[in-house]
Chains A and B, each alone.
Chain A
């Protein structure tokens, strides 16, 4: 069942304000952390086994350890450009507990020796920007930010930066470009941000949930945190459940939680008479799994990787038997075509090509060889570009086509959906 490590007080309105947050033990961990050496904090986070919650699942403590040992100014960036279709956990976290994020960032700022941090929030989250800005104001007034935090001699400044609505700015180097005032395009790696990031200075980029999770880790200690979840995926995680379920929403569960329990118990199952057909386990970029696979899947990094998909940002999209996979893929390819930054050729041209081919199928102009063509094109987009958007566009295509090939073949042969009985064009026009 749910395990509310982060979201324990989210239902209380006062938790959104500084005094309310303090009432429930807020900023106590910060006081403890400010007395620790930066390396001690990094070791503690390393020991906890915390993995990045933004999608890639990279160990956070290890990432912090990549910072060069010199006196260059460095930056801590919070990636709140939550753009992955299906994901809405960061929105909840910033809306219900902005101070939790701020506390986590101050601690992380101290651990990484940065004097300045930014929270990069997607432009569509306008009201969240206002909430976070208000919280920052409160924190500054209470001496929790700025010079000499709580008399510790440590300085840390924090600002909010609003994105302008590009999915690609959720990629860490794309976000850095955007923050630098440039066009939001990912940068070539190496050099990695930990060596040369924002303004060519060492930079750490972490997801909202990752930074917030630092607070309970330091509060309870790494061993206690490591006991939660599985061996390789410790801790709890927020899952944004959506799709054809009765009770969609954010659920915090320990990692390793069975997927069927999330859908059927917490999510209230599917609507009456419907059967589960497929699940996208980690945001739209994660390859889809079938209902049979979902039956045995657990929500942790290793199990899903074994199934050839990924935990990603934790957006579980349940698809029931009333959905046409071809129509769904058309929505996804449209999204990636629209969001490709256009820098690398395979992604710029490939996303457009995939989109056109899938649309020619749903418009009834498809050819049988188009199904194989989709696989070939997607195969050759994978791993050939600067960032992972190309993979993100290719993986759903590959998984949809290979796992639901019958639906695609039916669509091409009959010119209509196997599930809905009509064509996409008839539905949408």
Chain B
């Protein structure tokens, strides 16, 4: 365990720790582009300059291992001068198109320039021309002129995704990132390259040109895309959510997340959500306020007696399961609570990095809750119950992320047999229009609108906090359970921070956005 002094502060580090790692662990600031804690050391940006006592030249912190008694500083004039020049070399051929660059506001070059730069440029020659708008694959676009060739993306595809799509072609200042012939950047983790790109060279086709980052707020939550439960950061404003990025979590996802998880903000936005509850009587649907709809439906639920069944999917929080299962089993006295498993075949598959076959974030939480309440039922019992008429009322806690529930339509047909269906659902699904008989669709809150816990595949409790409110009148599963059981609760329409429900302005934006859909559509430039 060598001890060293960095900027006058004595610290002790593990054997083999490099200086930049030591500084990173102790939250000391050091300029760097090519070094990334999740990747190997490249040592090419030459920005993490440090001065070590007894060494005549400045050294790079990323490839220098701490030794006993080392005296390091990165605040001296010599270091600042070296970093300033390192930055200047990065910038001489950089197009400086910040006003039209998506990275502006979160760009490594801007950050370091404000700290070490602020000089009058001396470069009077013409800049190197390189390729702009290079289509690397279905998710990522490259601007070679902005690229500083830190090689993070190349190392990511070699070391993490192990798909080896990217390489640096050509030599010297003609070098460019590129893909090999007939082999585009197309893997399940490709958008991580955009996250680790310190400049605006790699941009996500999904996010580019949609928002300036300084108009976005961010908050952490847990991805609900699969049973891994990656820690993520969502970026949103009053128009809704715009993107999802991974947050470092040592035990679960490291520095990465999959591309599927980044799409999960989409069904959360207003245009994809049920804003009002719908009630079907006879032939047509009528729109009702969600809380009122739940109260109305309560009559059918409490009257059902032992002909009541509850169907749960693994997409709600442990707290919600606890509430709904205890209300249904204790107050409504039914043990007919079933687990709707969407993908039996792939449920245990795993791609070796992050993606798991179980596309529900909280299957384990659901199973644990059911076990706690001594409920063990089989899906076949539900089917036979519906066929025989032993079940007349079904309450369904539908999947909010229904992309992986291919069998929704089939299930709608199945539940229609009951006669009365109360479907609790956050995201719109056309299959639900096929509900017949006495049916309610009650809007639920999505995972970004509530606090809670998911239990992931490994049994880790993934707690998360509310990010924002998108549909303020929607209910949590717990609230819905209370209301359906006939309990009186106050559903406070949560003080929506930014939008009142159905504000005219929002509709205009949605319309406007639809017009420009060709720009936002993934896969198109």
Contact = CB atoms under 8 A, between A and B. Distances in A.
- Which of the four size classes fits the interface of chain A? 20 to 34
Chain A at the B interface: SS class: helix
B288 interface: no
Interface stretch (B122-130, B308-316, B431-439): B122-130
Contact of B85 (A352, A370, A380): A380
B302 interface: no
A1 interface: no
A210 B106 CA distance: 52
A340 interface: yes
Interface stretch (A32-40, A59-67, A383-391, A404-412): A383-391
Contacts of B171: 166, 338-342
B397 interface: no
Interface residues of B, number: 34
B45 A188 contact: no
Interface string B166-210: 011011111100000000000000000000000000000000000
Interface stretch (A251-259, A292-300, A343-351, A421-429): A343-351
B89 A345 contact: yes
Nearest to A166: B171
B86 A384 contact: yes
Contact of A367 (B45, B124, B168): B124
A373 interface: yes
Contacts of B44: 343-345, 386
A143 B45 CA distance: 50
Given A352-B172, A360-B125, A346 B92 contact: no
Interface string B73-92: 00000000010011001101
B149 A342 contact: yes
Given A188-B41, A190-B63, A345 B46 contact: yes
A357 interface: yes
Contact of B172 (A342, A369, A380, A385): A342
B38 interface: no
A234 B97 CA distance: 58
Given A188-B41, A345-B149, A353 B125 contact: yes
Nearest to A372: B122
B395 interface: no
B43 interface: yes
Interface in A331-377: 337-346, 348-353, 356-357, 360, 367, 369-370, 373, 376
Contacts of B128: 352
Contacts of A188: 41-43, 63
B173 A352 contact: yes
B217 interface: no
Nearest to A357: B125
Contact of B46 (A339, A341, A344, A353): A344
A349 B126 contact: no
A356 B122 CA distance: 13
B180 to A, nearest CB: 13
B330 interface: no
A348 B167 CA distance: 17
B148 interface: yes
Chain B at the A interface: SS class: loop
A117 to B, nearest CB: 28
Contacts of B170: 342
Nearest to A184: B171
Contacts of A344: 43-46
B224 interface: no
Given A190-B63, A351-B172, A356 B86 contact: no
A352 B93 contact: yes
A348 B175 contact: yes
B57 interface: yes
B31 to A, nearest CB: 12
A356 B126 contact: yes
Contacts of B82: 380, 384
B36 to A, nearest CB: 15
Contacts of A370: 124
A337 B93 CA distance: 14
Contacts of B43: 188, 344, 386
A384 B79 CA distance: 12
A274 interface: no
A249 B3 CA distance: 56
A186 to B, nearest CB: 10
A337 B128 CA distance: 12
Given A345-B44, A348-B173, A386-B43, 7 more contacts: A345-B86, A345-B149, A346-B86, A353-B123, A380-B82, A384-B46, A384-B58
20 contacts: A183-B167, A337-B172, A341-B171, A342-B173, A343-B42, A343-B151, A345-B47, A345-B89, A348-B173, A349-B89, A351-B172, A352-B172, A353-B89, A353-B125, A356-B126, A360-B124, A367-B124, A369-B122, A384-B58, A386-B43
Interface of B: 41-47, 57-58, 63, 82, 85-86, 89-90, 92-93, 122-126, 128, 148-149, 151, 167-168, 170-175
Interface of A: 166, 183, 188, 190, 337-346, 348-353, 356-357, 360, 367, 369-370, 373, 376, 380, 383-386
Question: 9 nearest interchain CB pairs?
Answer: A342-B175, A356-B125, A380-B85, A352-B173, A340-B172, A349-B89, A188-B43, A342-B172, A345-B89
